[in-house]
């Protein structure tokens, strides 16, 4: 079973002596005509099925908490908090469907929907929502992730390892998918071969250690070939020393500032409609640093306006 719960009130620090320039993210919650909508996907089912560490269901609350006191910029025009979809069973599929329904509805009134996962099974719900809202658009998928997440849906069903297989299965002809930050050690030869067969663009983590530049060509290609872009960020692409609070921390990873530059490259296309941040596992994040990384990225993805062309 999956159900929707309304958002809680946002609160945080106030510095009234500094007037309008003291705006923090919590001040922008539920602003009128907000261009961005936020929704959480509280789900452990995908990661449990993929034999990972449970805890992702607590991700949305931890990211909101870390986000509330971050400084707002001039590019933040407010956001609607649309609450959470909660998955209360072992199968993520009903939740993915419910999430897709909400994302599609939010896209009617918002320029961008930012989804807080959940494991990477979130992606099938995010993508389904975008497809439902734009039935004939060419959708390009950019995944910043150590993993390809192209596992076959076998008898066990959908999991956090299968979302992009599911999307390819739904639309094999138009599957346009790039993965940046892929770790050799974390993907079997079988998955790499599937990616090659499906013409998936792969940029290895080794190429993204000192600059985002080696990823730009691939992002630009996806953006130019698509009407709308779905950007998904798996926090396990970050170095495990910075982001230990995920199911599968990376020993090498891609530095945070490189991930930010890749995000900016997608955003300047002006085509980013749906985006999600997945795999935060609060029980494995005692110092809250991984949640803080997630909040930095969410804050960046919630910018609209002059930074985009
Ligand atoms: Mn992933």
- Note whether 215 and 247 are within 8 A (CB): no
Q: How confident is the model at residue 306 (pLDDT cuts 50, 70, 90)?
A: low
Cα dihedral sign for 29, 294, 166, 168? Answer: positive
Give the distance (Å) from ligand 1 centre to CA of residue 120.
Answer: 5
For residues 261, 162, 193, 181, the Cα torsion angle rounded to the nearest 10 degrees is 20
Give the distance (Å) from ligand 1 centre to CA of residue 234.
Answer: 5
Give the distance (Å) from ligand 1 centre to CA of residue 16.
Answer: 41
**Side-by-side strand order, sheet with 201-204:** 2-5, 79-87, 36-42, 112-116, 272-278, 228-234, 139-144, 177-182, 201-204
- How far is the C-alpha of 55 from the C-alpha of 47, rounded, in Å? 9
What lies within 8 Å, CB to CB, of 210 at 6+ separation is: 258
Give the distance (Å) from ligand 1 centre to CA of residue 247.
Answer: 10
Give the CA radius of gyration of the chain: 18
| Helix/strand/coil for 187 | coil
Give the distance (Å) from ligand 1 centre to CA of residue 240.
Answer: 14
Whether the predicted pLDDT of 309 surpasses 60: no
Give the distance (Å) from ligand 1 centre to CA of residue 27.
Answer: 31
Give the distance (Å) from ligand 1 centre to CA of residue 243.
Answer: 14
Q: Which residue has the tokens 């590019």?
A: 75
**According to CATH, what is the number of the domain 2-301?**
3.40.800.10
| pTM, two decimal places | 0.97
Give the distance (Å) from ligand 1 centre to CA of residue 237.
Answer: 8
| Helix/strand/coil for 61 | helix
Residue 146: is it exposed, middle or buried by C-beta count within 10 angstroms (0-12/13-18/19+)? buried
Q: How confident is the model at residue 308 (pLDDT cuts 50, 70, 90)?
A: very low
| pLDDT tens per residue across span 120-175 | 999 999 999 999 999 999 999 999 999 999 999 989 899 999 999 999 999 999 99
Percent of the chain beyond pLDDT 90?
A: 97
Give the distance (Å) from ligand 1 centre to CA of residue 146.
Answer: 7
């Amino acid at each position: 079973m999956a159900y929707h719960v309304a958002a809680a009130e946002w609160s945080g620090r106030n510095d009234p002596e500094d007037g309008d320039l003291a705006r923090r993210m919590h001040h922008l919650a539920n602003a009128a005509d907000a261009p961005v909508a936020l929704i959480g996907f509280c789900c452990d089912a995908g990661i449990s099925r993929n034999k990972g560490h449970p805890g992702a269901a607590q991700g949305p609350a931890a990211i909101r908490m870390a986000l509330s006191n971050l400084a707002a910029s001039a590019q933040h025009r407010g956001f609607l908090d649309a609450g959470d979809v909660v998955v209360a069973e072992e199968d993520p599929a009903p939740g993915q469907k419910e999430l897709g329904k909400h994302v599609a509805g939010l896209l009617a009134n918002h320029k961008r929907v930012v989804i807080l996962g959940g494991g990477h099974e979130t992606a099938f719900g995010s993508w389904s929502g975008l497809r439902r809202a734009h039935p004939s658009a060419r959708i390009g998928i950019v995944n910043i992730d150590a993993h390809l997440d192209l596992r076959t849906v076998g008898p066990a069903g959908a999991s956090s390892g299968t979302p992009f297989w599911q999307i390819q299965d739904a639309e094999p002809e138009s599957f346009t998918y790039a993965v940046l930050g892929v770790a050799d050690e974390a993907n079997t030869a079988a998955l790499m071969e599937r990616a090659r067969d499906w013409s998936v663009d792969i940029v290895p983590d080794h190429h993204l250690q000192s600059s985002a530049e080696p990823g730009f060509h691939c992002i630009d290609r996806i953006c130019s070939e698509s009407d709308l872009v779905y950007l998904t960020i798996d926090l396990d692409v970050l170095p495990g020393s910075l982001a230990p609070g995920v199911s599968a921390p990376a020993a090498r990873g891609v530095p945070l500032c490189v991930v930010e530059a890749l995000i900016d490259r997608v955003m300047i296309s002006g085509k980013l409609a749906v985006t999600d941040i997945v795999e935060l596992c609060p029980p494995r994040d005692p110092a809250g640093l991984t949640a803080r990384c997630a909040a930095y990225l969410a804050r960046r993805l919630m910018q609209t306006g002059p930074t985009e062309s």
